[in-house]
């Protein structure tokens, strides 16, 4: 008996079950996709729609690389079933910049060098945008605790946190 | 023989959910999925033939505060509970416990019903629900019933739910005047770990600041969350002097019945159960005094 | 090329431009290994051993092959039999037979999770289901699960007939000690006899993983004519090409490897795990095959670094002069030989002048995953022991820990314990920089403590190629073959821009595939800014010579009448009245003056510039729970010349963070059958954002004369000091000397209890 990997397959059924049709809004665009019942939103985005900006790091909700926003809530897309997105809105990293205008968070990540390999970056940016939406003036500790669910192995988090705090300042300025 | 896909249903009424759960052998309730989907991927059960998503049932997503207390849908995500300032101010310990479940992302998904029905000994919200005398409202083929959270789990992964039943709401009675709760847990890092030990305390004080009633519940140190009445009674009639705290801590350590596993040893957990009981008691006491 | 470092005012180098690939990375467009696919691609999965140690008597894949949707099933029988055989290389070596058996076990499975078959099917689920139908006849063997078990006289032997290689008194006959390393100097008996004070201890460290957030991934496409292309998340595309060729018995010339963006490696993505299997599956399936690892597979089936047992002692005179040092290091190699014990032996005492020494290292095989390089492989482990003992020495002598290190620090001309003597190095300067930092004087409160430790890594040279070409608008492209893990392509652009005298935004850096660029050794060994940078500078200097020649042609003057200054050809001496011509103007005329301007260069420097680092750490320990918080952390390290200071700082901070995790909470946990109990980020506890403070950095610059700009590699040294730094801070905070890692809360509380008895 062998086999290690993500979803453990079920064997012994006679019939295939039809795929589920999901109508959802992704980054403001109405989108239709077909998915299996047990398929994660992460897999539907990446494999179904070719939207590979959202990353898979663990499939168990421990690393934050798969962060998206579902109906306004920050969630780990590896632990959301694609079928749940029916009638809901999804926001991913691909939808943050408006044309050529990067968000303050994106811009500060670049200026601070808050990325080295870049694999955790989409997840961090999606999460940081949510942090600043809820808390426009976070302390360093508040930022660190909010982002504790996003793992980074390259940076030691220093430049990421600085980028987030500076982005918050920029955003407060712009609103003022 | 092939690997096949699960079916997915998202009923909009409790009756619909009950019917689906009763109709199928291989069915799982999907609230936040933060335990269910993880277990599917780490050597646990295969994906079920049917997922029943309960988050489209308005009753299970509603929050109602009254003078009697809180009636809240079972599938309200933790983040929403924490954001509710009234819930936070009435039950700071319960809210903190809920807020400690996983990361910000997990908070967007985790629910009290998932935390309770998964029946992990280390669930963070359960000890806090217990000290607040919370009840789970269960709907099933034979109607609805109410079970105290402290009576809900039978062992790791085992609950009182029968086939076709699901938790639809939680009821948390309004806290008595001059009472407050607290929840502390020990983890090796600052976030992201499963509790090595979790302790919830609720105390009620008289006008002189003497504890008139107390409840203590321990998590992660027994097959289910424990209510430790002996630790609680060590606090009653005191102002949490050192001897009272020490006695409560000793009772908590004694009552703790943990295992050695990758998260902690028996000796360590018993020790920490005592330490956290003292700290949580002090925190609850200070809050209660401030009310 | 001559490698004199020059005193010059840099105009581009030393600045902090936004990296050229940054936009793609913050918008999610950058494509990593798992982001690639091709039409018709099948999913490939490995089938893995349920036993830690077993002989494979037979494998029957017929049931799996019949599953609808399965297109190919392979085992080691689908690879040519490459015999085991160790080929030494520097402080380590290579064994293609072992590499092949790591991909797919042949005679034996040697760790739980060891892959022995692979399946390609239309979906991952079908492939996994089919994998369960592969019938194996096993002869289950007693697993060897610890160094103690491996070294016991009656230990089960992993590799019959494997002779112990190397130095010193070697065991006779079959042994799990695959090799020994011995460095000796002076007379240690006399040295210890002369010592007024001897400190000694036994230390142990657990197996830990590099912890890159991106699991391994590749896509292989075998074409009808026998050629193939592979996209791989790897630290070295040329390495993948060579390994795939050796392991699959293919002509390397038939394979093209494109390195994708890579989500962390730290040494762990130098070995290949997927690509040979993906290619052979693709050939059998007649379709492209995509393989990605799950996080669980990463922990069970890829190379962590060694766990260790160490004993060491240091002897000093009462005035603080260290006169003798001795150590015995036992390192877990995992399933096949090749732990970094050799590098640990080379680095452990090297920062200090110690005339009498004996350093013995054992490479021990056992039934755990085969170890792979992890950032300065071996050095952090040895430094943990050495720096803890030096801290004990300082305490016993009542000396400041930095002062004691300054007194004994190796300097230029000093001889390393493994032979060579050092050129200019910056150990003392780095010690002084740490001592002068405000952190060193910050006030400490109750239950708080401070630790200092130092570390060193040799850094590598090795082979690199670069090509620079000029566009007709005066911009340039620089192409190399080094996957960019931490911003290196921006540094290549900076060096090219510096030589050309143009703004870095006018230089586009590309990382090429194995067909488009000259050979480059891996991104690793802290070598890219150094060696590949050297190639870039050399190639750009050739371009500059071409540009000068074009200007000379236009002006009709001799070449030596034309200088290059700040992006312009400038006529000098007798030709001065010709004035100057910008790069843009020359570029616009390229077609008329001789055609495109392109130049390539390659380098293979035999040595690099070693880098020394000194770390400071303040911790607070909760005496009732044993939980430790890191309050302050400062890294001082000699970079020679920081090309892009932000990225240098990032290396310092990242290496420190990994070391802190290693010191406090990271470890592989095992059950009695040799299964990893924590194959995920929930219970394999890397630091999260709230675990760490801001990490201050001090870039010391003692130029390395071997590089035109003075560059020293920076990537690896940062992980060498933290284990000792944190342990020394714990000693200061608690009074307890921890010699066993990790210093997790239960162990700390236990030790505090013991101390108060």
- The residues of chain B that CATH labels 3.30.390.50 are 179-290
Q: Answer whether residue A2 shows pLDDT above 50.
A: no
CB contacts under 8 A, A 108-147 vs C, are 109-113, 115-122, 125, 140-141, 143-145, 147
Position C725 scores a pLDDT of: 98
Rounded to whole angstroms, how far apart are CA atoms C637 and C697?
8
Rounded to whole angstroms, how far apart are CA atoms B127 and B110?
16
CB contact under 8 A, A5 and C18: no
Mention every residue, 6+ apart, whose C-beta is less than 8 A from residue C61: C73, C75, C117, C134, C135
- The residues of chain B that CATH labels 3.30.43 are 7-53
Chain C residue with the nearest C-alpha to that of B43: C296
Q: Answer whether residue C603 shows pLDDT above 70.
A: yes
Largest CA distance in chain B: 72
Chain C residue with the nearest C-alpha to that of B102: C682
Sign of CA dihedral C113, C114, C119, C122: positive
Tell me the per-residue pLDDT of C149-194, one tens digit each, with 9 for 90 and over.
999 999 999 999 888 999 999 998 899 999 999 999 999 999 999 9
Which chains form contacts with chain B, at 3 or more CB pairs under 8 Å? A, C
- Do the Cβ atoms of C257 and C513 come closer than 8 Å? yes
The CATH number given to whatever domain includes residue C409 is 3.30.365.10
Could you tell me which CATH class the domain B179-290 is placed in? Answer: alpha beta
Distances (CA, A) of C445 to A58, B126, C448, C619, C620: 39, 36, 5, 10, 8
Mention every residue, 6+ apart, whose C-beta is less than 8 A from residue B100: B124, B183, B185, B195
β-sheet bridge partners, residue C310: C203, C329
Two tokens, residue C554? 């236009």
Element (H, E) at C364: strand C356-365
Backbone phi and psi for residue C597, each to the nearest 5 degrees, phi listed first: -105, 115
Q: Give yes or no: residues C613 and C748 share one domain.
A: yes
- In CATH, the architecture of B7-53 is 2-Layer Sandwich (3.30)
Q: Which of A4, A35, A43 to mutate to test the interface with C (most CBs of C within 10 A)?
A: A4
Position C225 scores a pLDDT of: 96
Task: Calculate mean pLDDT across residues C619-645.
Answer: 98
Position C89 scores a pLDDT of: 77
Q: Say what percent of chain C tops pLDDT 70.
A: 99
- Do the Cβ atoms of C586 and C550 come closer than 8 Å? yes
- Closest chain A C-alpha to C441 CA, distance in angstroms: 22
CB contact under 8 A, C132 and A3: yes
Position C91 scores a pLDDT of: 65
CB contact under 8 A, C125 and B189: no
**Closest by CA position to A167, among listed A96, A61, A67:** A96
Tell me the per-residue pLDDT of C58-83, one tens digit each, with 9 for 90 and over.
999 999 999 999 999 999 999 999 99
Q: What is the DSSP string of C53-121?
A: SEEEEEEE-HHHHTSTTEEEEEEGGGS--PPP--EEETTEEE-HHHHHHHHS-SSEE-STT-EEEEEEE
CB contact under 8 A, B10 and A19: no
Two tokens, residue B215? 């409840």
Average pLDDT over chain C, rounded to an integer: 96
Of C603, C620, C652, the position where a domain reaches its end is C603
Q: Picking from A11-20, B79-88, C93-102, which range would have the lowest pLDDT averaged per residue?
A: A11-20
Q: Give yes or no: residues C416 and C556 share one domain.
A: no
Tell me the per-residue pLDDT of C496-528, one tens digit each, with 9 for 90 and over.
999 999 999 999 999 999 999 999 999 999 999
| C625 contacts in chain B (CB < 8 Å) | 186, 272, 275
Instruction: State the CB neighbour count (10 A cutoff) for residue C75.
Output: 22
Backbone phi and psi for residue A122, each to the nearest 5 degrees, phi listed first: -55, -45
Mention every residue, 6+ apart, whose C-beta is less than 8 A from residue C353: C322, C408, C409, C410, C414
Chain A residue with the nearest C-alpha to that of C697: A158
Residue C303 placed within a domain: no
Two tokens, residue A175? 């609103």
Q: Residue B1: exposed, middle, or buried by beta-carbon count in 10 A (0-12, 13-18, 19+)? A: middle
Residue C50 placed within a domain: no
Task: Calculate mean pLDDT across residues C35-57.
Answer: 97
- Closest chain C C-alpha to B193 CA, distance in angstroms: 6
CB contacts under 8 A, A 100-139 vs B, are 127, 130-131
Q: Give yes or no: residues C510 and C453 share one domain.
A: no
Task: Calculate mean pLDDT across residues B147-163.
Answer: 97
Position C6 scores a pLDDT of: 52
Q: Answer whether residue C449 shows pLDDT above 90.
A: yes
Two tokens, residue C142? 């007693």
Is B7 an 8 Å CB contact of chain A?
Answer: yes
Rounded to whole angstroms, how far apart are CA atoms B196 and B259?
11
- The answer to whether the peptide bond before residue C115 is cis (omega within 30 degrees of 0) is no
Is B195 an 8 Å CB contact of chain C?
Answer: no
Position C95 scores a pLDDT of: 92
Q: Which of C66, C749, C754 to mutate to test the interface with B (most CBs of B within 10 A)?
A: C749
Residue C561 placed within a domain: yes
Residue C499 placed within a domain: yes
- Do the Cβ atoms of C321 and C287 come closer than 8 Å? no
Task: Calculate mean pLDDT across residues B240-258.
Answer: 98
Q: Please give the torsion angle defined by the CA atoms of residues C734, C737, C738 and C743, in that order, rounded to the nearest 10 degrees.
A: 10
- The residues of chain B that CATH labels 3.30.465.10 are 58-173
Q: Give yes or no: residues C730 and C640 share one domain.
A: yes
Residue C197 placed within a domain: no
Is B272 an 8 Å CB contact of chain C?
Answer: yes
Task: Calculate mean pLDDT across residues A164-169.
Answer: 98
Instruction: State the CB neighbour count (10 A cutoff) for residue B210.
Output: 12
A17 pLDDT band, cuts 50/70/90, is: low
Q: Give yes or no: residues C647 and C595 share one domain.
A: no
Position B3 scores a pLDDT of: 52
Q: Answer whether residue C3 shows pLDDT above 80.
A: no
Q: Give yes or no: residues C472 and C597 share one domain.
A: yes
Q: Answer whether residue B16 shows pLDDT above 60.
A: yes
Chain A residue with the nearest C-alpha to that of C644: A113
| A127 contacts in chain C (CB < 8 Å) | none
Tell me the per-residue pLDDT of C408-417, one tens digit each, with 9 for 90 and over.
999 999 999 9
C756 pLDDT band, cuts 50/70/90, is: low
Position A4 scores a pLDDT of: 34
Domain limits for position C693:
405-459+608-756
CB contact under 8 A, C685 and B188: yes
Position A16 scores a pLDDT of: 56
Q: Domains plus CATH for chain A?
A: 20-95 (3.10.20.30), 104-175 (1.10.150.120)
C611 pLDDT band, cuts 50/70/90, is: very high
Query: How many structural domains is chain C composed of?
Result: 2
Q: Answer whether residue C690 shows pLDDT above 60.
A: yes
Distances (CA, A) of C498 to C14, C290, C536, C567: 10, 41, 11, 9
Is A166 an 8 Å CB contact of chain C?
Answer: no
Q: Answer whether residue C1 shows pLDDT above 70.
A: no
Rounded to whole angstroms, how far apart are CA atoms C347 and C253?
38
Of C575, C603, C631, the position where a domain reaches its end is C603
| C680 contacts in chain B (CB < 8 Å) | 42
Residue C436 placed within a domain: yes
| B3 contacts in chain C (CB < 8 Å) | 123, 125-126, 128-129
- Where are the strands (E) in chain A, listed by range? 20-26, 29-35, 67-70, 73-76, 89-91
Chain A residue with the nearest C-alpha to that of C653: A156
Size of interface A-B (CB pairs under 8 A): 133
Residue C690 placed within a domain: yes
Rounded to whole angstroms, how far apart are CA atoms B12 and A73?
21
Q: Give yes or no: residues C527 and C618 share one domain.
A: no
β-sheet bridge partners, residue A149: none
Instruction: State the CB neighbour count (10 A cutoff) for residue C658.
Output: 26
Q: Give yes or no: residues C415 and C476 share one domain.
A: no
B262 pLDDT band, cuts 50/70/90, is: confident
| A81 contacts in chain B (CB < 8 Å) | 8, 30, 33, 37, 51, 53
Residue C637 placed within a domain: yes
- Where are the strands (E) in C409-491, listed by range? 448-457, 464-470, 476-480
Tell me the per-residue pLDDT of B28-66, one tens digit each, with 9 for 90 and over.
999 999 999 999 999 899 999 999 999 999 999 999 999
Position C4 scores a pLDDT of: 45
What strand order describes the sheet that includes C108-109? Answer: C108-109, C54-60, C135-140
| A80 contacts in chain B (CB < 8 Å) | 33, 109
Position C754 scores a pLDDT of: 85
Tell me the per-residue pLDDT of C193-251, one tens digit each, with 9 for 90 and over.
999 999 999 999 999 999 999 999 999 999 999 999 999 999 999 999 999 999 999 99
Q: Give yes or no: residues C750 and C641 share one domain.
A: yes
Q: Say what percent of chain C tops pLDDT 90.
A: 95
Q: Give yes or no: residues C511 and C567 share one domain.
A: yes
Q: Answer whether residue C750 shows pLDDT above 90.
A: yes
Position C163 scores a pLDDT of: 85
Task: Calculate mean pLDDT across residues B195-210.
Answer: 97
Tell me the per-residue pLDDT of A25-74, one tens digit each, with 9 for 90 and over.
999 999 999 999 999 999 999 999 999 999 999 999 999 999 999 999 99
CB contact under 8 A, C214 and A117: yes
Position C86 scores a pLDDT of: 86
- Where are the strands (E) in C114-207, listed by range? 115-121, 135-140, 165-166, 177-185, 197-205
Mention every residue, 6+ apart, whose C-beta is less than 8 A from residue C385: C201, C203, C310, C312, C327, C329, C348
Q: Give yes or no: residues C655 and C710 share one domain.
A: yes
B58-173: CATH number? 3.30.465.10
Largest CA distance in chain C: 90
Q: Answer whether residue A12 shows pLDDT above 70.
A: no
- Where are the strands (E) in chain B, listed by range? 7-9, 27-30, 50-53, 63-66, 69-73, 135-140, 143-148, 153-155, 158-159, 166-173, 179-186, 197-205, 211-219, 226-227
Distances (CA, A) of C735 to C389, C727, C732: 14, 11, 6
Q: Give yes or no: residues C577 and C705 share one domain.
A: no
CB contacts under 8 A, B 42-81 vs C, are 42
């Amino acid at each position: 008996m062998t086999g290690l990997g993500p979803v453990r397959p079920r064997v012994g059924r006679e019939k295939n079950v039809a795929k589920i049709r999901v109508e959802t809004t992704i980054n403001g665009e109405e989108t239709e996709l077909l998915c299996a019942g047990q398929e994660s939103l992460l897999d539907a985005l990446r494999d179904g729609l070719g939207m590979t900006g959202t990353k898979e790091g663990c499939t168990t909700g421990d690393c934050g690389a798969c962060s998206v926003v579902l109906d306004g809530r920050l969630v780990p897309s590896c632990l959301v079933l694609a079928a749940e997105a029916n009638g809901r809105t999804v926001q991913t990293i691909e939808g943050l910049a408006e044309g050529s205008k990067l968000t303050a968070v994106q811009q500060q990540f670049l200026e601070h060098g808050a990325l080295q390999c870049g694999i955790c970056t989409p997840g961090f940016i999606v999460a940081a945008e949510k942090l600043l939406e809820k808390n426009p003036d976070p302390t360093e500790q508040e930022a660190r605790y909010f982002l504790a669910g996003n793992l980074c192995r390259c940076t030691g988090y220093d430049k990421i946190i600085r980028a987030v705090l500076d982005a918050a300042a920029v955003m407060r300025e712009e609103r003022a | 023989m092939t690997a096949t896909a699960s079916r997915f249903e998202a009923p909009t009424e409790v009756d619909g959910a009950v019917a689906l759960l009763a109709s199928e052998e291989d069915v799982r309730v999907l609230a936040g999925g933060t335990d269910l989907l993880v277990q599917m991927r780490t050597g646990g059960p295969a994906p079920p033939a049917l997922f029943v998503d309960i988050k489209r049932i308005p009753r299970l997503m509603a929050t109602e505060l009254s003078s009697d207390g809180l009636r809240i849908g079972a599938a309200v995500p933790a983040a929403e509970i924490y954001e509710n300032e009234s819930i936070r101010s009435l039950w700071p310990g319960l809210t903190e416990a809920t807020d400690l479940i996983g990361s910000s992302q997990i908070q967007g998904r985790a629910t009290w019903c998932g935390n309770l029905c998964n029946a992990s000994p280390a669930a963070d919200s359960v000890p806090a629900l217990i000290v607040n005398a919370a009840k789970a409202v269960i709907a099933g083929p034979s109607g609805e019933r109410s079970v105290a959270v402290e009576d809900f789990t039978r062992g790791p992964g085992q609950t009182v739910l029968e086939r076709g039943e699901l938790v639809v709401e939680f009821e948390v009675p309004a806290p008595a005047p001059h009472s407050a709760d607290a929840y502390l847990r020990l983890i090796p890092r600052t976030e992201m770990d499963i509790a090595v030990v979790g302790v919830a305390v609720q105390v009620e004080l008289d006008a002189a600041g003497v504890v008139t009633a107390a409840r203590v519940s321990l998590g992660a140190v027994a097959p289910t969350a424990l209510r430790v009445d002996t630790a609680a009674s060590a606090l009653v009639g005191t102002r949490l002097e050192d001897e009272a705290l020490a006695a409560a801590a000793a009772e908590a350590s004694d009552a703790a019945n943990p295992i050695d596993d990758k998260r902690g040893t028996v000796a360590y957990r018993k020790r920490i159960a005592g330490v956290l009981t003292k700290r949580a008691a002090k925190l609850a006491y200070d809050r209660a005094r401030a009310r | 090329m001559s490698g004199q470092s020059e005193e010059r005012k840099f105009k581009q180098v030393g600045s902090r431009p936004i990296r050229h690939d940054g936009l793609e990375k913050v918008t999610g467009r950058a494509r990593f290994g798992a982001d690639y696919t091709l039409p018709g691609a099948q999913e490939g999965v490995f089938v893995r051993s349920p036993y830690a140690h077993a002989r494979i008597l037979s494998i029957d894949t017929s049931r799996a092959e019949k599953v609808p949707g399965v297109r190919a099933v392979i085992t080691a029988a689908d690879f040519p039999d490459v015999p085991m055989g160790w080929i030494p290389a520097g402080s380590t070596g290579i064994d293609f037979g072992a590499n092949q058996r790591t991909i797919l076990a042949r005679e034996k499975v040697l760790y739980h999770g060891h892959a022995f078959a692979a399946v390609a099917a239309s979906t991952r689920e079908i492939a996994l289901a089919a994998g369960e139908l592969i019938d194996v006849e096993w002869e289950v063997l007693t697993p060897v699960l610890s160094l103690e078990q491996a070294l016991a006289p009656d230990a089960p032997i992993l590799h019959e007939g494997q002779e112990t290689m190397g130095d010193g008194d070697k065991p006779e006959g079959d042994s799990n000690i695959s090799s020994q390393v011995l460095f000796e100097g002076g007379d240690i008996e006399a040295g210890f006899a002369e010592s007024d004070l001897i400190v000694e201890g036994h230390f142990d460290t657990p197996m830990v993983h590099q912890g890159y957030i991106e699991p391994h991934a590749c896509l292989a496409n075998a074409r009808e004519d026998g050629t193939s292309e592979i996209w791989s998340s790897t630290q070295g595309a040329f390495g993948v090409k060579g390994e795939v060729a050796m392991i699959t018995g293919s002509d390397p010339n038939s394979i093209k490897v494109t390195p994708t963006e890579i989500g962390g490696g730290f040494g762990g993505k130098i070995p290949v795990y997927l690509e040979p299997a993906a290619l052979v599956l693709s050939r059998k399936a007649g379709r492209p095959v995509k393989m990605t690892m799950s996080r669980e597979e990463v922990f069970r089936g890829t190379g962590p670094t060694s766990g260790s047992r160490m004993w060491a002692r240091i002897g000093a005179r009462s005035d603080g002069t260290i006169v003798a040092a001795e150590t015995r290091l036992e390192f877990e190699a995992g399933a096949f030989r090749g732990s970094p014990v050799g590098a640990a032996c080379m680095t452990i005492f090297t920062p200090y002048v110690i005339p009498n020494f004996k350093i013995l290292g054992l490479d021990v095989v056992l039934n755990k995953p085969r170890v792979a390089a992890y950032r300065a492989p071996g050095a952090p482990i040895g430094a943990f022991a050495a720096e803890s003992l030096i801290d004990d020495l300082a305490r016993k002598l009542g000396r400041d820990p930095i002062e004691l290190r300054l007194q004994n620090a190796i300097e230029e001309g000093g001889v390393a314990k493994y032979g060579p003597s050092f050129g200019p190095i910056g150990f003392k300067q780095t010690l002084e920089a740490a001592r002068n930092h405000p952190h060193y004087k910050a006030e400490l409160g109750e239950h708080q403590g401070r630790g200092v430790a130092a570390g060193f890594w040799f850094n590598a040279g090795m082979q690199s190629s670069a090509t620079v070409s000029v566009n007709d608008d005066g911009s340039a492209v620089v192409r190399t073959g080094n996957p960019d893990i931490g911003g290196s392509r921006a540094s290549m652009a900076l060096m090219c821009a510096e030589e050309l005298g143009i703004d870095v935004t006018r230089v586009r850096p590309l990382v090429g595939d194995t067909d488009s660029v000259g050979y480059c050794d891996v991104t690793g060994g802290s070598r890219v800014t150094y060696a590949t940078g050297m190639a870039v500078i050399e190639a750009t200097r050739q371009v500059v010579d071409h540009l000068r020649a074009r200007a000379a042609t236009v002006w009709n003057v001799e070449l030596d009448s034309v200088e290059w200054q700040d992006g312009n050809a400038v006529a000098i001496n007798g030709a001065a009245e010709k004035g100057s011509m910008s790069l843009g103007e020359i570029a616009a005329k390229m077609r008329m003056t001789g055609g495109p301007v392109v130049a390539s260069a390659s380098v293979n420097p035999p040595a690099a510039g070693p880098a020394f680092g000194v770390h400071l750490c303040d911790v607070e320990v909760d005496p009732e729970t044993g939980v430790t918080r890191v309050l302050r952390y400062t890294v001082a390290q000699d970079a020679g010349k920081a090309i892009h200071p932000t990225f240098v700082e990032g290396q310092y901070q990242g290496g420190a963070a990994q070391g802190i995790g290693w010191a406090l909470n990271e470890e592989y946990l095992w059950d009695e059958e040799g299964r990893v109990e924590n194959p995920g980020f929930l219970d394999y506890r890397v630091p999260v954002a709230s675990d760490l403070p801001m990490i201050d950095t001090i870039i010391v610059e003692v130029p390395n004369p071997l590089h035109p700009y003075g560059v020293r590699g920076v990537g690896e040294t940062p992980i060498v000091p933290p284990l000792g730094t944190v342990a020394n801070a714990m000693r200061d905070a608690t009074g307890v000397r921890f010699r066993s890692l990790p210093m997790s809360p239960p162990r700390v509380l236990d030790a505090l209890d013991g101390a108060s008895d």
